[in-house]
Amino acid sequence: MDNKLSLPAIILAAGKSARFWPLNARHKSLLKIMGKPLIWYTINALREIGIGDIIIIQGPSRDIEIELNPFNLKNINYAIQPQADGMSGAMFAAQAFIKSGQFIVVHAHSVDCASICVQLFQKSLATKSKIILAGQETTEPWLYGCARFDGDRLQEIVEKPIAGAQPSNIKIIGAYLLDISYFDYLKKVRGTVHFNKEFEAAISVCAAQNDVRLVLLEKNYPTISFKYPWHLFNAQKYLFDKFLTQSQIDPSAQIAKNAIIEGNVFLGANCRIYEGAVIKGPCYIGANSIIGNNSVVRGYCNLEENSLVGALCETARVIFQSNVHVHSGYLGDSIFDSGMRVGAGAITANVRFDRSSIFARVQKEQNGIKAISPVDTGLTSLGTIIGANSKIGVRTTFMPGRFIGNNCRISPGQVIMHNLEDNNII
């Protein structure tokens, strides 16, 4: 069967992403991997399956539109969601662009949405149902909208259920095939529940009156969750494995004779690789970046433009946004937002003594109550995640899974045992 869909698509890109702190100074879909924001990859995935017209819902700052403008994308319409009133508010902002028939809805970070959208459409053709959702088994149903269903018929979505009282362990994946009639149900529930639950409530009302189906993905089917900042590593690996399949070295790159480059490595324009440096791919190193003498950059490292890895530094499985400068030390399994500066001798401890799973303290919401709570990351290797424009003094050491906010200052020689909120000084 031809997997091309001649449908419009709505991309949701206006949320505040509180749980993605400290990488939420702007919309999380604007974080870059291999020189492009995540939302670009989502658009590309939709184009791969034939979707032409795309409506992007953004916030009043129009940051999405500004970031995408240099890419000269065609058939993109932008709508403004004037206030943070959930997915339902985004849908109302998009309604003027949907005139009839079915349409796709995805989140802006849904870089892996192509095959799921095709499955939704195939299910619609097979069942004649106009509204199709995708679900997958999860061990953390309280983080998601969970499905109550009978066979492949959806009965209800329970948004972020109380732990132990969820209707199933099937979470709803953030890709939806909807019909123009959905807007009528959305209007019916408007104001009857909290706005964060209106989108799902409208689907539940529709399912009670119509044939709404569920595509159940296999438990091991690769999907990318994007609830917390460490989930960016999953998106990076997916995109590296898909797009970084061979080395690409710009002719203007300057590479010392005794530097070693192995595996799939991208070197952008005017990169400089100094004597004794070792780069072991897969690695992406953006334009105008510098890898200093006797430094090591290895294994799924993403260094955006104007990055500097100083002499005698080892980086492993890190994600740097643009204009990040680091010096000697060890930086592993860590994410640094734009404009970061890290002094010489800094160490990110990325493994616990007992080698068990690392917990991180993040913002959680349960039953409408927000609190900072420890969350099991499910990772046995996780360093530190630091927000934009923070400055880290020499010989600073970070314990595993600690987060530093935006615009922070840490004086030399500190051992960071706890998170540091935005705009703080130690």
**Does this model's pTM top 0.85?**
yes
Can you tell me the distance from the alpha carbon of 313 to that of 139, in angstroms, rounded to the nearest whole number?
38
Helix (H, G, I), strand (E, B), or coil: what is residue 103?
A: strand
Q: What are the strands, taking DSSP E only, across 244-287?
A: 248-249, 254-255, 260-262, 265-267, 272-273, 278-280, 283-285
Can you tell me the distance from the alpha carbon of 113 to that of 5, in angstroms, rounded to the nearest whole number?
13
Is the confidence at residue 150, as pLDDT, over 80? yes
pLDDT band at 221 (very low <50, low <70, confident <90, very high): confident
Provide DSSP, 109-132.
T-TT-HHHHHHHHHHHHHH--SEE
Q: Where are the domains of the chain?
A: 9-229, 238-416
The pLDDT value recorded for residue 144 is: 83
The two three-digit tokens of residue 219, written as one number: 């438990």
The pLDDT value recorded for residue 19 is: 87
Domain 238-416: assigned CATH number? 2.160.10.10
For range 243-254, the mean pLDDT: 97
The pLDDT value recorded for residue 233 is: 97
Helix (H, G, I), strand (E, B), or coil: what is residue 82?
A: coil
Can you tell me the distance from the alpha carbon of 95 to that of 83, in angstroms, rounded to the nearest whole number?
16
- Count Cα neighbours of 126 within 13 Å in the Cβ-side half-sphere: 12
Residue 101 burial (CB < 10 Å; 0-12/13-18/19+)?
exposed
Can you tell me the distance from the alpha carbon of 183 to that of 202, in angstroms, rounded to the nearest whole number?
8
Greatest pairwise CA separation for the chain in angstroms = 70
Q: CB neighbours of 243 closer than 8 A, spacing ≥ 6?
A: 34
pLDDT band at 364 (very low <50, low <70, confident <90, very high): low
pLDDT band at 213 (very low <50, low <70, confident <90, very high): very high
State pLDDT tens for residues 96-139: 999 999 999 999 999 999 999 999 999 999 999 999 999 999 88
Task: For strands 301-303 and 283-285, give the pairing.
Answer: parallel
State pLDDT tens for residues 165-197: 888 999 999 899 999 999 999 999 998 998 888
The two three-digit tokens of residue 314, written as one number: 């080892």
Residue 243 is given by DSSP the state: H
State pLDDT tens for residues 31-69: 999 999 999 999 999 999 999 899 999 999 999 999 999
Query: To which residue do tokens 């203007």 refer?
Result: 252
CATH number for 9-229 (one of 3.40.50.300, 3.90.550.10, 3.40.50.720, 3.40.50.1220): it is: 3.90.550.10
Helix (H) or strand (E) holding 386: strand 384-386
Q: What amino acid is encoded at 35 in this protein?
A: G
- Average pLDDT, whole number, for the chain? 93
